[in-house]
Structure 1
Amino acid sequence: MSSDRRVAIEPSTRSAAREQVVRWFSVMASNTADPVAGITRPSYGEGEQFAHTFLREEATALGLRVTEDAALNSYMTLPGRDSEAPAIMIGSHLDSVAQGGNFDGAAGVVAGLAALSMLRRHGISPRGDITVMGVRAEESAWFQTSYIGSRAALGRLSPEALQCRRVDTQATLAEHIRQCGGDPDVLLAGQPFLDPGRIRAFMEVHIEQAPSLVEAGVPLGIGTSIPGNFRYPEITVTGETAHVGLPRRFRRDALVAAARFVAQLDALWQRWEDAGKDMAFTVGRLHTDAANDAMTKVAGEVCFSLDVRAYDAADVARLHEDVLGIVATLQDECGVRFELGRQTQAPVATAASDIQAALTDLARSRGIASMPLASPASHDAAVFHEAGVPMGLLFVRNHHGSHNPHEAMDIDDFMLAVDVLTDWLLAQG
């Protein structure tokens, strides 16, 4: 493959790729539609399985080499001329949250396949392999642990993660992997399927998850970084169940303690914003004990989840200390006990500066408006960064955020991302 960026993809080839893209998204949406709203592709469930099977079949029809690993990640490869050359990988996840949108995650896999389809149609053979990776189980909503598929591929999935239970079925991750045809015993041994030293770069295309590009009127974002986080999926606050009329001085109200915890974290966030520092926290689930709560009872137990994230590892550590301090104070003030439970974490990741610069230049050369964009969300590219693989991110303008049925990525915007991605692949030789 020439490293000359002037290699052009013919309009008819791009038009055919656009038709494929529309069909791929349509088939996935119609076959993984949630009966209530949006789409649902549970990690190691029927919807995710359909998406992987469907896109692997489409990749085979394109003449790509298709494989999978013990965690059932999908690999769809355009072989290179030099078997010793390091590979370029493009990828994202194919699962979704319940009643989510059709583009979150899937856009990255479809973008990679569209780019390889155009290269194939032009008879272009890259120097090294170019592999599109369909990643399993990125959405931690299901097993309440991060980056399952990508960590498994790199031999970094902890044994404890295999015992996490899916929130709807209560079956373990190991059981779900085995039911889908994977081999959790291989994962337990920590044997990596991918060698980071053999990967030249990992590129991820994704819809934006806050409307920054919409606000700016710009179709593409050049990703700069991915926040790190710490999470407590199952925090329990235990107080004392009591009569609704109990005077305040006698109460050990678990719900009041949980509410004050949320309020104090929100006040902390405001202080960080006032200081010009970036962070975010989310309590995605908060509930009393459904078997014991009542309108005329003081809540004796409350459970909630917590995600806290920032763009600097030192900031993440500082925020963790702040959370522990808030917990200690509230235990004394409210007479309750906080049990934080299992903790998970994900690394801060920074896109490679040369990839950022190249994507910016390629977009500019096409007359495509772009802007630097730090992602507010987690992405599998962070795991590759942690493993020492240079990574890049391309974000596509998207109305209404993500993790809901109203994702509104325009296909024309998406194809601009595919154009830039394809130009970048052509420039790699």
Structure 2
Amino acid sequence: MIPVQTLLDRLAAIGADPPGITREAFGAGENAAMALMAETARGLGLDCTVDAGASLSMRWAGTDPSAAPILIGSHLDSVVHGGNFDGAAGVVAGLAAIAALQAEGFRPRASIEVLALRCEEAVWFGLGLIGSRSLLGRLPEGALDLPHARGGQRLGECIAACGGDPRALGRPLRDPRRIGAYVELHIEQAPQLVEAGQPVALCLANPGNVRHPHIRITGEDAHTGLPHRFRHDAALAGAELALALERLWLDEEAARRPMAVTIGRFHTLAERHAMTVVPGAFEMSLDLRAYEAAHLAALEAKLHGLVGAVAARRGVAIDLGPRSAAAPGVMDATILGELAAAARQRALAPPRLNSPGSHDANNFAAAGVPTGMLLIRNRNGSHNPDEAMETDDLMAAVGLLTLWLAGRAGH
């Protein structure tokens, strides 16, 4: 077996940025983590290559070159001051499962590849899942011109600097029809497994999302004594829109249509705000997510209705700005059944849960690749310094993955 705990500790050292972990996409942190994974993979005799999107493939060649490969993937970047395990645990798990199979003398018929996919987190370019989008030809138009949050270097330039070829990203780098399956392991992002007392869960679906990272509301600056009927207050318009979105969320949940609304940025302009000025400009961001494509489309239509109503009522202009989207990821029923059977052999009773987060698995599922996910217990959520995955829980998931791979890649 590979030294799983040592790898996790080395990843933590790479990303150390008190009070948490920062592994900047296409930066020193993600690059060093990629190098560590490649070093580990070569120690297992795996072939390491970098694709045109600068993602890393670590391949254990199967005995049948015609067999469709099995992919195990996740990411190594983090949010700013996040935790050590979001994404990275899944890459380590893939290598650990291969090491376990090798220790048992197993030889796969189909090749098994562990993917370390670039820039899953949307904080770096306002667009997430970039490694899997690049691999599957799902980058939106204009994506290569998006500026990095630190320094402003364009995405295409970042990819080229890390060994990729942005000129090749207008089409899929891999034929989805020639991928046997994709499975991703990820820490749980809500305390459902803590509540259930189980180390691992079978994921049913990941939400898709519609994101507007730079919403701009424009009203009129005015004196604080101005009567209400004369005001065009951009801040109050932002507050009204935020509360309207929360009411929509609660109504949808009451109707048993799961979704989520997140407003991560919400502020007047730093160079303009003052205690005695009615703000004429306000900015916010929006992440709107749901588990079914039709539901997500309906929610987006309702968003536009709310925007129009608030703008008219407040006498302001609301520009939603750039839009990005990720398709929902519904997991493959056959893989779910196979993982459940493997869990029974391991004396595990994993619950079946939706994931609150979108992941690279979404893009594989949307491309028609049979896709599955395992969620690992994590007490304190993710995207914060207090991620609390226990290595024993990760190893329980690795054991389940190992058994599943033996069945899938050995047929």
Calculate the TM-score normalised by the size of structure 2: 0.97
Q: Does 1:30 align with 2:13?
A: yes
The separation in 2 between residues aligned to 1:337 and 1:155, in whole angstroms, is 35
Pick from 318, 322, 346 the counterpart of residue 298 of structure 2: 318
Q: Which residue of 1 aligns with 2:158?
A: 176
Partners of 2:323 and 2:137 lie apart in 1 by: 20
- Secondary structure of the 1:427 match is helix
Task: Pick from 324, 327, 335 the counterpart of residue 344 of structure 1.
Answer: 324
After superposition, the CA RMSD in angstroms is 1.1
Which residue identity lines up with residue 160 of structure 2 in the other structure? Answer: R
AA paired with 2:287? D
SS at match of 2:19: coil
Task: Pick from 401, 407, 410 the counterpart of residue 427 of structure 1.
Answer: 407
Cα distance in 1 for partners of 2:7, 2:383 equals 20
Structure-2 separation of matches of 1:156 and 1:398: 30
Cα drift, residue 214 of structure 1: 0.8
Residue 198 of structure 1 is matched in structure 2 by: 178
Give the percent of matched residue pairs that are identical in Structure 1 and Structure 2: 48
- Cα distance in 2 for partners of 1:167, 1:245 equals 38
**Number of residue pairs aligned between Structure 1 and Structure 2:** 409
Could you say which residue in structure 2 is the equivalent of 1:274? 254
C-alpha distance in 2, partners of 1:193/1:203? 18
Contact 1:88 1:128 in 2 (8 A): yes
Q: Residue 118 of structure 1 corresponds to which residue in structure 2?
A: 100
Q: Indicate yes or no: 2:276 matched with 1:299.
A: no
Q: Distance in 2 between matches of 1:322 and 1:370?
A: 36
Matched with 2:398 is 418
* 2:4 counterpart letter in structure 1: V
Choose the corresponding residue for 1:354, options 331, 334, 345.
Answer: 334
Higher deviation after alignment, 357-366 or 319-328: 357-366
Structure 1 runs of 4+ off > 6 angstroms? Answer: none
Name which of 372, 386, 403 aligns with 1:406: 386
Alpha-carbon distance, 1:334 to partner? 0.4
Distance apart, 1:193 and its partner CA? 2.3
Q: Distance in 2 between matches of 1:387 and 1:237?
A: 36
Aligned to 1:39: 21
Q: Which runs of 5+ in 2 are unaligned?
A: none
2:53 to 63, 67, 71: 71
**Quick check: 2:50–2:164 contact (8 Å CA) kept in 1?**
no
Cα offset, 1:394, TM superposition = 0.3
Distance 2:342 2:42 in 1: 30
Q: 1:217 aligns with which of 177, 197, 200?
A: 197
Shift of 1:371: 0.3
> 2:145 is matched with which residue: 163, 172, 175?
163
Could you tell me whether the CA contact under 8 Å between 1:219 and 1:369 is conserved in 2? no
SS of structure 2 residue aligned to 1:209: coil
Instruction: Note if contact 2:328-2:358 (Cα within 8 Å) is conserved in structure 1.
Output: no
Q: Which amino acid aligns with 2:282?
A: V
Deviation at 1:154, TM superposition (A): 1.6
**2 CA distance for matches of 1:308 and 1:164?**
21
Q: Mapping of 1:149-160 within 5 angstroms?
A: 149-160=131-142
Partner secondary structure for residue 370 of structure 1: coil
- Residue 377 in structure 1 maps to residue 360 in structure 2: no
State whether structure 2 residue 222 is matched by structure 1 residue 242.
yes
Q: Which amino acid aligns with 1:317?
A: A
Q: Deviations over 1:290-316 (max 9, x none)?
A: 111111111111111111111111111
Instruction: Tell me if 1:58 matches 2:43.
Output: no
Report if the CA contact (8 A) 2:62-2:110 is conserved. yes
Contact 1:146 1:345 in 2 (8 A): no
Unpaired runs of 5+ in structure 1?
A: 1-15
